[in-house]
Structure 1
Amino acid sequence: MMRRVLASSRYIMIIPVIGTFLGSVALILYEAIALCSSFIDTIRDGSVSAKSVKIFAVGIVEAVDVFLIGIAVYIISIGLYSLFIDDKLPLPKWLEVHNLEDLKGNLVSVVIAVLAVLFLREVVAWEGSSDIAAFGAGLALVVAALTFFLMKNNARRR
């Protein structure tokens, strides 16, 4: 009896699967709408200058950042579903999740990409009034730590 209850309890994970899936869809759709709106506003304004192009470029980089976060949440959703509900889900090799370490590795990879986009956004928006090198060094330390985590995680699996 207890064995059957515990085996069936894995389906409670459908709640975070649905929640993260809906969250990723909402993020992606919202940012797509915001990006289209920004594009329409830029055309409507009709001003073509170095500053307006820079502002538009920063908006695009910020959109990429939000899309990457949406992708990370989607990867979590797929990973949780694959781990707890259906391990036979047909996925590309890079998205296959066999344990929580794989899921963490996928997530950390996307976090590194998001941090890179964050730094790119700051560089594009930088007007020389702040110390961007300190910000870049801080991000570099975080990326180095995450990369070390990935390397250690991959070495442990071999």
Structure 2
Amino acid sequence: MLRRLLAASRYIMIVPVVGTLLGSFALILYEIVVLTASIYEILVEGAISTKAVKVFAVGIVEAVDVFLIGIAVYITGIGLYFLFVDETLPLPKWLRLNSFEDLKANLISVVIAVLAVLFLREAVAWDGNADIAAFGVSLALVIAALSLYLFKTNSR
């Protein structure tokens, strides 16, 4: 009896799976609307200048950042479903998971990409006034620590 109850308890993971998938879809759809509105605004205003293209470029980089976060949330949802509910779910080769550690490694890889895009966004928007070097160094330290973690866990 207890064995069946414990085996069935894994289906509680459907709650965070649904939540993460809904969150992922909402992030992606919201950013598509924001990006579409930005493009529409540029076309209506007809603003053609170096400042306008820089603002648009920052908007594109910010969109990529949000898309990457949405992808990370999606990977979490799919990974949780695969690990806890249905390990026969057909997944692309790059998303094959054998353990919770594999899921964490995928997420850390996406977090590293998000941090890199975050710095790119700041670099593109940089006006020369703020100290961007300290921000870059702090992000580099976080990325280095995450990369070291990935290296250590993959070398086991």
What TM-score range do you get, normalising by the shorter chain? over 0.9
- RMSD over aligned Cα, in angstroms? 0.5
Q: Does 1:62 align with 2:59?
A: no
Counterpart code for 2:3? R
Counterpart code for 1:64? V
Counterpart code for 2:37? S
TM-score (norm 1): 0.98
Match of 1:18 in 2: 18
Unaligned runs of 5+ in 2: none
Match of 2:88 in 1: 88
Match of 1:123 in 2: 123
Give structure 1 regions of 4+ aligned residues with deviation exceeding 4 angstroms.
none
Identity fraction in percent: 68
Deviation at 1:33, TM superposition (A): 0.7
Counterpart code for 1:97? L
Unaligned runs of 5+ in 1: none
Give the 3-state SS of the residue equivalent to 1:87 in structure 2. Answer: coil
Give the 3-state SS of the residue equivalent to 1:149 in structure 2. Answer: helix
Report matched runs for 1:114-153 at 5 Å.
114-153=114-153
Give the 3-state SS of the residue equivalent to 2:155 in structure 1. Answer: helix
Q: Does 1:154 align with 2:154?
A: yes
1:71-122 alpha-carbon deviations (Å, 9 max, x no partner):
0000000000000010011111210111110000000000000000000000
Cα separation, 2, equivalents of 1:108 and 1:144: 11
Cα separation, 1, equivalents of 2:32 and 2:54: 19
TM-score (norm 2): 0.99
Cα separation, 1, equivalents of 2:47 and 2:31: 23
